[in-house]
Amino acid sequence: MKKIFEVIILSGLFLAGCAKSGKDESDKKNKERENIENIIKKENIFSNNSIEAVLKIFSEKSEKNRIGINKFEKLIFENRNYYYAKINSKENSIYALDYSGINVTGIFLKVNKVDSANLGIIENLVANLIQVSDSKLKDSEARAIYAEILSKLKDNEFSSSLTYTNGITYGLQINSATGEFIFYAKEADTQNAQKDFQNIAIDEKSFQTKIVRNKIN
């Protein structure tokens, strides 16, 4: 009887060990799967891609969304690097990328003046930017993000922002005096995210580029 009891105990320990081993193996596989999914998921976020990749996505999304833009040009100012492109469908407006090293740290849209006549065009430009910031977002979701930001604007307030589920902070600023409109995207939880974005303005008459600092909190 004692021997039978010992065999039962040993069998129990063996099965427990096998179960633990199987659980450990299962946990390991689940962890590996999660890591792969996280890597794939992060590749759609602009700040995890090279400047060349983001420029390519910008061209592809803009073409798909029927937004005509000029070729992106490089600009170096105060030892910092930028790319900007004038938007053909809206006069005095640009897309710009702020980047550090090989990664983009911010994307923004600048329109010289916003009014009731161009609200639809601006919405299209913003939706395009949002889809560039996260290539997995559909047009309807991008427009919903923009609508939510607008809904958060209160009386006599000219800025609004939100951090979306993808970790990107989206926001806008409107200059009440000039009607200048700026929309931006930055990753909220990265050390490389810039708090100070550069507003690259294009002088259409002289075709000269000038830099104006705009602080985005």
Burial environment of residue 127 by CB neighbours within 10 A (0 to 12, 13 to 18, 19 or more): buried
Q: What is the pLDDT of residues 195-212, one digit of tens each?
A: 444 444 445 443 344 544
The model's pTM is 0.72
* pLDDT at site 14: 54
The mean pLDDT value for 129-133 works out to 96
Residue type, 75: L
Residue type, 151: S
* pLDDT at site 185: 93
Angle at 33 between CA 30 and CA 36, to 5 degrees: 155
Contact 134, 166 (CB under 8 A): yes
C-alpha to C-alpha distance for 66 and 62, rounded to whole angstroms: 6
H or E element that contains 42: helix 2-42
Phi, psi of 116 (to 5 degrees): -65, -25
Mean pLDDT of the chain: 76
Q: What is the pLDDT of residues 57-105, one digit of tens each?
A: 999 999 999 999 999 988 776 666 778 898 988 888 899 888 877 888 8
Place of tokens 């050390």: 191
Q: Is the pLDDT of residue 153 over 80?
A: yes
